[in-house]
Structure formats: C-alpha cells, structure tokens
Amino acid sequence: MTEKSPEPVAPGFDLNKATIVSLLYIAGFAVGVTGLVGFVLALIWKDEVAGTWEESHLQFHVRTFVIGFAVGIAGTLLAFILIGIPILLALAVWILVRSVVALLKAQKHEAIADPETWLF
C-alpha cells in the first residue's frame, strides 16, 4: 500500500556537473574564457555521466556552445554591415536563457526533455 516517491533533493544549492557547466556559461558574459572551459568540461564529463539525467544537460550545453560559436562567427562577420549586431544581441540572450533554464533544471535533477532542440 505504500507508494515509492522519488527521493527528495536536499535543500540548498547542489553543485553537480550540469550546474557547474551552466554557471561557467553564465560567467562567460563577464569572463569570456569560462564558456570555453564549460564546453571542455562538458566534453570530458560526457562519458562519465552516460545514462543519468546529467547526460542530457551536457549534450544540451555542448550543442549550445557549438551553435553559439557558429552564429557568433557569422554575427561578427556581418557586424561590419550592421546586420550582425542584432544577431549577436539575440545570440547573447539565447545563450543566457538556455543556460538559466538548464541551471534551474539541474538544481531539480531534471533531465532536459529534448537536448537536440534549438530552443529552450
């Protein structure tokens, strides 16, 4: 008659691998190199967390970096004709929103529903 409920997450801030990468991406807005560090850590930890909820987060973060890097290069090149400036601003918002959404889900130990998505 007893139902098994999921184990509650301990109150407070959980510094798991997905959270670390999210925080590094967010810190990248102030200290640019931390985004690259987060990307490298996500690649290193990818095999270590295979089969867990963190796997989807690291896949999500790797995809965020790769797409962001490509769009950032295109936006930088297009900035010379002024069309790249709104592209770069939209890219910054996109990366920030994806990182915050991932951070909030990581604190709840929730997997990213679709890590292959371009959205959030």
- What would the pLDDT profile of 28-66 be if each residue is shown by its tens digit? 999 989 999 999 999 999 999 999 999 999 999 999 999
Provide the residue type at 11 as one letter. P
| Position 58 in a domain | yes
Cβ count near 111 (within 10 Å): 18
| Position 1 in a domain | no
- Note whether 92 and 85 are within 8 A (CB): no
Mean of pLDDT values over 90-110: 95
- Tell me the per-residue pLDDT of 37-46, one tens digit each, with 9 for 90 and over: 999 999 999 9
- Give me the domain span that covers residue 96: 17-107
User: Considering the chain, what percentage of its residues have pLDDT values greater than 70?
Assistant: 90
- Note whether 35 and 24 are within 8 A (CB): yes
Query: What is the total count of domains within the chain?
Result: 1
| Res 117: pLDDT | 86
| Position 4 in a domain | no
| Position 6 in a domain | no
| Position 11 in a domain | no
| Res 85: pLDDT | 95
| Position 9 in a domain | no
| Position 118 in a domain | no
What contacts 56, CB < 8 A, 6 or more positions away?
Answer: 111, 112, 113, 115
| Position 82 in a domain | yes
